[in-house]
Amino acid sequence: MTASHDVLVIGGGGAGLRAAIAVAETNPRLRVAIVSKVYPMRSHTVSAEGGAAGVAADDDSLDEHAYDTVSGSDWLCDQDAVEAFVHEAPRELLRLEHWGCPWSRQPDGHIAVRAFGGMKKKRTWFAADRTGFHMLHTLFQTVLSFPEIVRYDEWYVTKLLVDDGRTYGVVAIDLATGRTETITASAVIVCTGGCGRVYPFTTNANIKTGDGMALAYRAGAPLKDMEFVQYHPTGLPFTGILITEAARAEGGWLLNKDGYRYLQDYDLGKPEPTPVMRSMELGPRDRLSQAFVHEQAKGRTIDTPYGPIVHLDLRHLGAELIDAKLPFVRELCSKYQNIDPVTELVPVRPVVHYMMGGIHTDIHGATPIQGLFAAGEVACVSINGANRLGSNSLPECLVFGARAGRAAALFAGLYGGRIPPAVMAQGRDEEDRLERELTRHLDGRERIADIRTEMQITMENGSGIYRDRDSMVKAFDELQELQARFADAAIDDHSRTFNTELVALLELSFMLDVAESIITCALHREESRGAHQRTDFPARDDERFLAHSLVQREPDRAGRRVRYLPVTITRWPPGERVYGR
Amino acid sequence: MADEITLEVVRYRPELRIEPVVQSYQVPLREHWAILDGLTYIKDHLDGTLSFRWSCRMGICGSCGMTVNGDPQLTCATFLTDYAPGPVRVEPLRNFPVIRDLVVDIGDFMDKLPTVKPWVIRDVDSPVEEGEYLQTPEELDEYKQFSMCINCMLCYSACPVYALEPHFLGPAAIALAQRYNLDSRDEGASEREDILSSPEGIWACTFVGECSAACPKDVDPAAAIQRYKLTAATQAIKNFLLPRGAR
Amino acid sequence: MSLYHRPIPLFWWLERRSYLVFVLRELSSVFVAWFVVYLLLLINAVSGGSAEYERFLDRSGQWWLVTINVIALVFVLLHAVTWFGLAPKAIVVRLRGRRVPPPLIAAAHYAAWLVLSAVIAWVILR
Ligand SMILES: Cc1cc2nc3c(=O)[nH]c(=O)nc-3n(C[C@H](O)[C@H](O)[C@H](O)COP(=O)(O)OP(=O)(O)OC[C@H]3O[C@@H](n4cnc5c(N)ncnc54)[C@H](O)[C@@H]3O)c2cc1C
Ligand code: SF4
Ligand code: FES
């Protein structure tokens, strides 16, 4: 079976939906479709809490947003991309406002903005603390007003069809029926989100398994800056549920076991009763998570069955502010931790949150493979460099989702046409492979969950907040072993109808590839920068590494190659990252 | 506290072509464990063939709705310890066709949703360059509650009218229509009037109120429906009494 | 793909109190209709002169008619109470920018009911 479209978007999160609308708006004659492994409104964008950054206030400027982003990234972002981003973000957020997003408002009816970590000015738009939820549903409901956008809900993409350096579509499984289908398209936009599930303790949903990164990697596209994994400083123990940075932006404090605001010991400024921009609790995430590790080493964290924790103190904010600005935080704490932040301390610890790296794209979302585009967390443009600032990711989905959509529409308009027979053969091969996959593991001995858990622990030990050569070499070897064991993975479920075990198997295989790319890049980068901290190379090394790592499969798929691409610097030469001073 | 609890899972496996059967599993009973953690434990360690949907495990994506001991619940926000010593019966959401095990077909809702036009409709769109449409916090409050819907389908599962009358638009779809009707930026209420006031719309609802009781996000879809009944009734009287231009 | 449709059990309306109340309220409309018919019969009797009115009263005193009317009264009360329960959901009143709390709206309905009943009682018992 085959279906055919002009532009195919993989992923129905913030980036994917925005991209699809951009295609429809750019060229209404194009047949555009969205494939998503969950209903679009279930995509992980729905979980984002804090807000979306875009210059709005009179005392703010695009340059300041750009500078905060560049210094936050430890100078590893591309400054032309950042300039485009800060320029287009407010417009995209306004567009969402026109589509109905219920942004929180000032009394006079204008958009309200809040402070966020690493930002010098208040510029984070928010919809209480359910920003991602409201953005995603607004986008999804707006997509419903475009009847020309076709959806494949609950279809799982297993392969990108690439021939001679050009994309022609995908192969996907319809989960409800188990039918596999080749879906061809002149242009494909990958918007499949991040890969937090490669780690054991993460804020990321079950669906964030790095599928798109692995799809592109296998198709020969380079992945960029994969060693940069963001740990968010405040996740609830056990569940890993995120307590948004907005809680600190509204005035929350981080306290160690002695009730001491420990961040003052880590060059992040002096404790003040009210929040100070780019200081203390409003420092960048990499520095805050690293401070936690040092506190732990000093024995100043609190041990719990779910690991060491510190406390987030919101009590002084009062019930009224918490209910108005952080209602979801209160709901999450009471549901999942049995505590009320109005009267009690919230236990928190660093948690894997976001992937700075991803599929290498240019400023229009184009990858080196013709007709293949990427946007959102799966892509690396890069505006995030070595450390993303909170609230830059949602607007990134909009800005670069729209850009990729427009570029793909243009591409599909120019280069539509015939599908080479080799591609159809590839599609049939993949359909056969999936068929075999269902039976191949009949008498396997390894449980999927065991391999997955071991991979996650390997990643945490090998490339956590701090890493060194030995731990990474060990992790790399373990991953090779896990790859070998994966071949012997068992699958109990041989049904075609909604086979979630088959999906778990395919996801695991994607995650193993992504994990390998993370460790590979991390091993090669012999310096410390942003979220990549090596105890054996503790200093930043601009001489050698003011450059993006690109990791690519060798054509024979056996080996992998890492090369470096210089960072684009337009106006802000590399300097020291200064917070709280 | 016992250290295990029994989950009785109602399973339907289409290949077997038989009625659903109950299968029991022992799972650890631990503090902070949601029903969903019990189910993933089964899938990971006991029986890989059990199918169910989940994603965010923080009560916001709306994937994990199931019937727990007879009540529609988000299984990621319902805890094992609250059901101790058990057993706990886990079934698929009621009122939906079952695809397999705990996975139901919500295609009906997905088809109905666009018919109520849940998007901003304006007579004239102003360009974004002119800045935001102003909206005061009070105007935001008018519709905020109805914008909280996560499409989890618990309300449909609780609604006896939907069970008896599958053409009924249903609580969430009507609440979402009202979410836009009450938004000060929207001018599309008249375009939603026909479908909402049709026999399959608000008038099918007889105010059982179970939708609002089941809703995990306090959307109160029953209120949305009742409010619209009043609006529709007033509108009907106006249409009857007033000449066209004055309505 | 073969979907499974759970059959609706015959006694589904006994599964939950709210379902039972729902079915009873649906049923109550029959009794509301009965009261309308009864009222029409009363008016007919009144217009037919005092003899006919007496006969109507006699008939109304029979035990089975009293029983029906008592049951009908219970159902009409159920109808009224659930209706008032619904009212605050439908009616959103704002006073000086603040939403009037829903219980207050329900209370207002009951107050109006009380006042009306008192007026009628006064007219009759005067
Ligand atoms: C808890 C949490 C809070 C956050 N808060 C903020 C915040 O306050 N501000 C901010 O700026 N950022 C925040 N972020 C980050 C931000 O939410 C994400 O980076 C962003 O939403 C990613 O969007 P996306 O569109 O790229 O991907 P997603 O929303 O993850 O969507 C991915 C889509 O791809 C589909 N997909 C994936 N694989 C396949 C496949 N194989 N086949 C078919 N479809 C597939 C999925 O179905 C899904 O539709 C937060 C993140 C988390 C985890
Ligand atoms: S109205 Fe409530 S119960 Fe119904 S779908 Fe929305 S969130 Fe779920
Ligand atoms: S898993 Fe997302 S709502 Fe339960």
Which chain C residue's Cα is nearest to A495? Answer: C1
CB atoms within 10 A of CB A224: 25
Query: What phi and psi, each to the nearest 5 degrees, are found at residue A225?
Result: 50, 40
What's the confidence (pLDDT) of residue C49?
85
Tell the residue nearest (CA) to atom 1 of ligand 3: B57
Q: Domain span at residue B75?
A: 4-104
Q: Is A391 in the pocket of ligand 1 (CB under 6 A)?
A: yes
- Pair B69, B134 in one domain: no
What's the confidence (pLDDT) of residue B246?
59
Non-local CB neighbours of C71 within 8 Å, separated by 6+ positions: C31
Residue A453 in domain: yes
State how far the Cα of A372 lies from the Cα of A359, in Å rounded to an integer: 10
How many whole angstroms from C124 Cα to the centroid of ligand 3? 61
Residues of B in contact with C13 (CB under 8 A): 160
Mutation choice for ligand 1 from A21, A377, A505, CB with most ligand atoms inside 8 A: A377
Q: At residue B1, does pLDDT exceed 60?
A: no
Please give the CATH topology (third level) of the domain spanning C13-90: 3 helical TM bundles of succinate and fumarate reductases (1.20.1300)
The count of C-alpha atoms lying within 13 angstroms of the C-alpha of A431, restricted to the half-sphere facing its C-beta, is: 17
What's the confidence (pLDDT) of residue C99?
77
Provide mean pLDDT across the span A295-324.
Answer: 95
The ipTM of this complex is 0.96
Please state, rounded to an integer, the average pLDDT across all residues of chain A. 95
CB atoms within 10 A of CB C72: 18
Q: At residue C50, does pLDDT exceed 90?
A: no
Give the least confident one: A73-82, A253-262, A314-323, A413-422: A413-422
Chain A closest CA to C2's CA: distance in Å? 9
Q: Does the beta-carbon distance from A206 to B43 stay under 8 Å?
A: no
Q: Domain span at residue A451?
A: 433-547
Helices (H) and strands (E) in chain B, counts: 9, 7
- Pair B91, B184 in one domain: no
Tell the residue nearest (CA) to atom 1 of ligand 2: B172
Non-local CB neighbours of A297 within 8 Å, separated by 6+ positions: none
State how far the Cα of C105 lies from the Cα of C107, in Å rounded to an integer: 5
Q: Specify the 3-state DSSP secondary structure of A45.
A: helix
Q: At residue B245, does pLDDT exceed 70?
A: no
Provide mean pLDDT across the span A172-194.
Answer: 97
The percent of residues above 70 in pLDDT, for chain C, comes to 98
Can you give the length of chain C in residues? 126
Q: At residue B247, does pLDDT exceed 80?
A: no
Structure tokens at A465: 């907040």
**Does the CB of B166 have a partner CB in chain C at under 8 Å?**
no
Ligand number nearest CA of B154 is 2
Ligand number nearest CA of A207 is 1
A92: pLDDT confidence band, cut at 50, 70 and 90?
A: very high
How many whole angstroms from C94 Cα to the centroid of ligand 1? 39
A557: pLDDT confidence band, cut at 50, 70 and 90?
A: low
Structure tokens at C63: 């035990």
Provide mean pLDDT across the span A539-568.
Answer: 91
Q: Does the beta-carbon distance from B176 to A141 stay under 8 Å?
A: yes
A37: pLDDT confidence band, cut at 50, 70 and 90?
A: very high
Strand A302-304 to strand A307-313: parallel, antiparallel, or no bridges (unpaired)? antiparallel
Residue A167 in domain: no
**Does the CB of B239 have a partner CB in chain A at under 8 Å?**
no
Q: Is B173 in the pocket of ligand 3 (CB under 6 A)?
A: no
Please report which helix (H) or strand (E) contains residue A174, including its range: strand A166-174
Provide mean pLDDT across the span B195-213.
Answer: 90
What's the confidence (pLDDT) of residue A53?
98
Q: What is the pTM of this model?
A: 0.94
Instruction: Give the chains touching C; criterion: ≥3 Cβ pairs < 8 Å.
Output: A, B
Ligand 2 atom nearest the C-alpha of B148 is: 7
Instruction: Give the chains touching B; criterion: ≥3 Cβ pairs < 8 Å.
Output: A, C
Q: Is B219 in the pocket of ligand 2 (CB under 6 A)?
A: yes
Non-local CB neighbours of B22 within 8 Å, separated by 6+ positions: B8, B9, B10, B11, B89
What's the confidence (pLDDT) of residue C125?
87
- Pair B85, B119 in one domain: no
Output b/e per residue, A484-519; b: 16+ Cβ within 10 A.
ebbeebbbbbebbbbbbbbbbbbbbbbbbbbbbbbb
Output b/e per residue, A384-408; b: 16+ Cβ within 10 A.
bbbbbbbbbbbbbbbbbbbbbbbbb
Non-local CB neighbours of B148 within 8 Å, separated by 6+ positions: A130, B217, B218, B219
**Does the CB of A113 have a partner CB in chain B at under 8 Å?**
no
Distances (CA, A) of B138 to A97, A109, A464, B2, B118: 17, 9, 46, 50, 21
State how far the Cα of A20 lies from the Cα of A151, in Å rounded to an integer: 10
Residues A51/A15, Cβ–Cβ less than 8 Å: no
Q: How many domains does chain B have?
A: 2
Query: Domain boundary at A300, A324, A351, which?
Result: A351
Distances (CA, A) of A323 to A318, A342, A395, A492, B233: 9, 9, 25, 47, 36
State how far the Cα of A358 lies from the Cα of A367, in Å rounded to an integer: 11
Tell the residue nearest (CA) to atom 3 of ligand 2: B215
What residues of chain A, 139 to 158, have a C-beta less than 8 Å from chain B? 141-142, 144-145, 147, 153
- Pair B139, B199 in one domain: yes
Provide mean pLDDT across the span C92-109.
Answer: 80
Interface test with A, best of C1, C2, C3 (most A CBs within 10 A): C1
Residues B156/B96, Cβ–Cβ less than 8 Å: yes
- Pair B138, B223 in one domain: yes
DSSP class per residue in A399-465:
HHHHHHHHHHHHHHHHH--PPPHHHHHHHHHHHHHHHHHHHHGGG--B-HHHHHHHHHHHHHHHSSS
Query: What phi and psi, each to the nearest 5 degrees, are found at residue A489?
Result: -70, 140
B49: pLDDT confidence band, cut at 50, 70 and 90?
A: very high
Q: Is B221 in the pocket of ligand 2 (CB under 6 A)?
A: yes
Any idea where the domains of chain C sit in the sequence? 13-90, 93-126
Residues of C in contact with A176 (CB under 8 A): 1
Query: Domain boundary at A326, A351, A376, which?
Result: A351
Short-list A245, A284, A296, A300, CA closest to A115: A245
Ligand number nearest CA of B176 is 2
Query: Using alpha carbons only, how large is chain B's radius of gyration in Å?
Result: 21
- Pair B113, B92 in one domain: no
Structure tokens at B184: 């000060």
- Pair B192, B236 in one domain: yes
Structure tokens at C105: 């709206």
A346: pLDDT confidence band, cut at 50, 70 and 90?
A: very high
- Pair B58, B157 in one domain: no
- Pair B24, B116 in one domain: no
Amino acid at B188: G
CB atoms within 10 A of CB A332: 25
State how far the Cα of A246 lies from the Cα of A240, in Å rounded to an integer: 17
State how far the Cα of B140 lies from the Cα of A244, in Å rounded to an integer: 23
Short-list A421, A8, A418, A24, CA closest to A215: A8
Short-list A219, A217, A178, A212, CA closest to A9: A212
Residues of C in contact with B99 (CB under 8 A): 1, 3
Mutation choice for ligand 2 from B60, B147, B212, B217, CB with most ligand atoms inside 8 A: B217
Q: Each residue of B145-191: pLDDT tens digit?
A: 999 999 999 999 999 999 999 999 999 999 999 999 999 999 999 99
What's the confidence (pLDDT) of residue B206?
82
Provide mean pLDDT across the span A306-326.
Answer: 95
State how far the Cα of C94 lies from the Cα of B112, in Å rounded to an integer: 32
How many whole angstroms from A329 Cα to the centroid of ligand 2? 20
State how far the Cα of B134 lies from the Cα of B126, in Å rounded to an integer: 12
Q: Each residue of B106-133: pLDDT tens digit?
A: 999 999 999 999 999 999 989 999 999 9
Chain C closest CA to B199's CA: distance in Å? 17
Residues A173/A498, Cβ–Cβ less than 8 Å: no
Kindly report the CATH number assigned to the domain that includes residue B12. 3.10.20.30
Q: At what angle do helices A500-524 and A211-218 cross, to 10 degrees?
A: 70
Residues A173/A179, Cβ–Cβ less than 8 Å: yes
Residues of C in contact with B220 (CB under 8 A): 89
Q: Each residue of A514-531: pLDDT tens digit?
A: 999 999 999 999 999 999
B73: pLDDT confidence band, cut at 50, 70 and 90?
A: very high
DSSP class per residue in B32-59:
T-BHHHHHHHIIIII-TT-------SSS
Q: At residue A482, does pLDDT exceed 60?
A: yes
How many whole angstroms from A132 Cα to the centroid of ligand 1? 9
For residue A181, the cross-strand partners are A172
Q: CA angle, corner A16, sides to A13 and A20, nearest 5? A: 135
Task: Return the sign of the alpha-carbon dihedral for residues B164, B166, B168, B169.
Answer: positive
A543: pLDDT confidence band, cut at 50, 70 and 90?
A: very high
Nearest to B183 among A100, A111, A499 (CB): A100
Q: Each residue of A432-475: pLDDT tens digit?
A: 999 888 887 777 889 999 999 999 999 999 999 999 999 999 99
Residue for token pair 């026109």: A98
Residue A536 in domain: yes
**Does the CB of A176 have a partner CB in chain C at under 8 Å?**
yes
Q: Does the beta-carbon distance from A99 to B120 stay under 8 Å?
A: yes
Tell the residue nearest (CA) to atom 9 of ligand 1: A391
Residues of A labelled catalytic: 232, 248
Q: CA angle, corner A254, sides to A56 and A307, nearest 5? A: 120
Q: At residue A314, does pLDDT exceed 60?
A: yes
- Pair B170, B148 in one domain: yes
Amino acid at A285: R
What's the confidence (pLDDT) of residue A439?
81
Cis peptide before B24 (omega within 30 of 0): no
Structure tokens at A190: 């990958």
What's the confidence (pLDDT) of residue A377?
98
What's the confidence (pLDDT) of residue A339?
94
B207: pLDDT confidence band, cut at 50, 70 and 90?
A: confident
State how far the Cα of A428 lies from the Cα of A412, in Å rounded to an integer: 24
Interface test with B, best of A151, A335, A351, A491 (most B CBs within 10 A): A335
Query: Domain boundary at A299, A324, A351, which?
Result: A351
Q: Does the beta-carbon distance from B99 to A206 stay under 8 Å?
A: no
Strand B71-74 to strand A560-566: parallel, antiparallel, or no bridges (unpaired)? unpaired
Q: Is B66 in the pocket of ligand 2 (CB under 6 A)?
A: no
Q: At residue A1, does pLDDT exceed 90?
A: no
- Pair B91, B142 in one domain: no
- Pair B95, B111 in one domain: no
- Pair A339, A446 in one domain: no
Strand A124-125 to strand A113-114: parallel, antiparallel, or no bridges (unpaired)? antiparallel
Kindly report the CATH number assigned to the domain that includes residue B220. 1.10.1060.10
Provide mean pLDDT across the span A77-103.
Answer: 98
Ligand 1 atom nearest the C-alpha of A11 is: 34
